[in-house]
Amino acid sequence: MVTERTPLIAIYGGSRRWDKYAHGSIIFGLVLFIALIGLVLVRIPFNVFTFHPIFMTLFIVLLTEGIALLQPTSTSEEKRKGLYYHALIQSTSYLSAIIGFSFIFYNKVISNKSHFESLHGKLGLFVFVYLFIQLLFGITIALTPTLYGSIDKAKSLWKHHRILGYVLLLLVWFTSQLGVRADYMYNNLYDTNLIYLHWLSLIFVITGLVYRIRTRKWGVKCTNLNYPKAMVNTTTGTASRDYICLHAWNRDVAAVLNFRHILYGLRENQKKKKRPGRFCIKSFFGYRKVSKKERNTTIQLLWNKHKYQLNFKEFQHGFDEATVRDLKEKCKQVTNVPIASMKLQVSGANIKDDTATLTSVGVCRNSTVVLNGEQVDETEAKQVVSGNPEEYALVQRISKIVDTITAETEREITEFEQLAQVKELSDDEKKKLQDKGIYLSEKMMQCLISLDAVECPMGFETARQRRREGVRYSQKLLGRVDKAKAVMNTNK
């Protein structure tokens, strides 16, 4: 029988038999997630963007562990220690989030890209703000409870902070799943099938967290709990610990997983009313059917011993509509090589006209495009006013064009001017001199045409200044050649 000595409080006890295995499931899921991110990071060039996934992965790991360590606490001492480590870990996680957010924001700025356009970016901004509010909410409850009227009222708000924390964790993991499917990350996977392992890591983490949830901390209470006689020790009158743990598990899990019938009903309705264009549960868990159009608009990019898959499915007419400029933009997204320093080849031929369609330059389904070009180091990019790697690449391109007019060219122009003033020349010498004048004029014109083809956007002051200087220098030399040719024609 159940007497006054029966420890009813034990039903709400902190430790369960399988808690350590549940925590092991969380650890395994986090380690798998870190490994999958690491496999991508070792394949991409190290740049400003790289810091974003590094610090955001650290943020996710710390946030998950910070919540998990407080789940099984029950005694005052456990709660006190748990709160201390929870505050320490979550503060570190927020610092990691700030650093990761700052790096991706800075990367967008130096790349002249718009902010918060994708669902991953928009949801990430929302999570960042949500995280700040949640952190502020927890700090004020713990350190300044009188802001809420009294200590007791502040304590009553802990359950809201806890529930909001679980919601935040779900949003963070969902945002991370969107992030790993971004083009830059997805295209750098060693094998695209590895994307499914991200769902596996999420399942391990959620399974462990759900098992360790104590719904009594959410304000959900169980009353009228009676023990079967077989579960009560007749000598001591106390309930069996196995029963206590089992009963607590059934109570908590029932409260969390009571959506089973709802989900089953949704699935049955999905079968009965399946319509094209509606949400598909397969796509939510990573299944992605490759359409015929996508297969027909995919090419392979080779750069620095790396292979990338580029797709142009967003263009209605595929390669007949996409231009070389569009191809370069996609190349820049996956390699971070500035467009100004890119040299593309397909089937051994150089691709030069940025306005030409991909079909017209020989790019078709499953073509292999070779990219030649190097990334710009951040210290080198600081040499220009904007600090943009794209502007530094433009400056380098302009310098190479101007370098075609060497000191040797100026010496040839000086000799041409001197010979043009000589009146007594044979017919052969005059013919050679005329050819020399045509050659020098053509060389100056080619330099001017090349400089004219360099497009310097607004804000690239260093590049625009260098181009102006190159144009003036080329025009000056061309004017000397034309003046010498005029003198030569007068001497005829």
Q: Is the pLDDT of residue 9 over 60?
A: no
Give the pLDDT of residue 289.
59
Q: Is a pLDDT exceeding 50 seen at residue 458?
A: yes
- Examine the pLDDT at 377 and tell me if it is beyond 80: no
Interval 230-252 mean pLDDT: 46
Q: What pLDDT was estimated at residue 391?
A: 85
Q: What's the confidence (pLDDT) of residue 36? A: 95
One of 3.20.20.80, 1.20.58.120, 3.30.750.24, 3.40.109.10 is the CATH number of 382-491, namely 1.20.58.120
Residue 232's pLDDT is 43
Q: What's the pLDDT at 247?
A: 47
Q: Model confidence at 80, in pLDDT bands (50, 70, 90)?
A: confident
- pTM beyond 0.85: the answer is no
Q: What is the residue extent of each domain of the chain?
A: 17-217, 298-375, 382-491
Q: What is the pLDDT of residue 408?
A: 82
Q: What pLDDT does 433 receive?
A: 86
Q: What share of the chain has pLDDT > 70, as a percent? A: 81
Q: Is the pLDDT of residue 290 over 70?
A: no
Lowest mean pLDDT among 156-170, 209-223, 373-387, 420-434: 209-223
Is the predicted pLDDT of residue 275 greater than 80, yes or no? no
Q: Work out the mean pLDDT of the chain and round it to a whole number.
A: 80
- Does CATH number 3.50.30.30 belong to domain 298-375? no
Lowest mean pLDDT among 221-225, 316-320, 369-373, 394-398: 221-225
What value does the mean pLDDT take over residues 277-297? 57
Round to the nearest angstrom and report the end-to-end CA distance of the chain: 131
For residue 379, what pLDDT is reported? 76
**Residue 288 confidence class, pLDDT cut points 50, 70, 90:** low
User: Could you read off the pLDDT of 15-66 as tens digits, one per residue?
Assistant: 567 788 899 999 999 999 999 999 999 988 888 999 999 999 999 999 999 9
pLDDT of residue 241: 45
What number is the average pLDDT over the span 284-302? 69
Top CATH class of 17-217 equals mainly alpha
Residue 390 has pLDDT above 70, yes or no: yes
Mean pLDDT of 190-194: 86
The answer to whether residue 424 scores a pLDDT higher than 70 is yes
**pLDDT given for residue 71 in this prediction:** 80
Is the model's pLDDT at 291 over the cut of 80? no
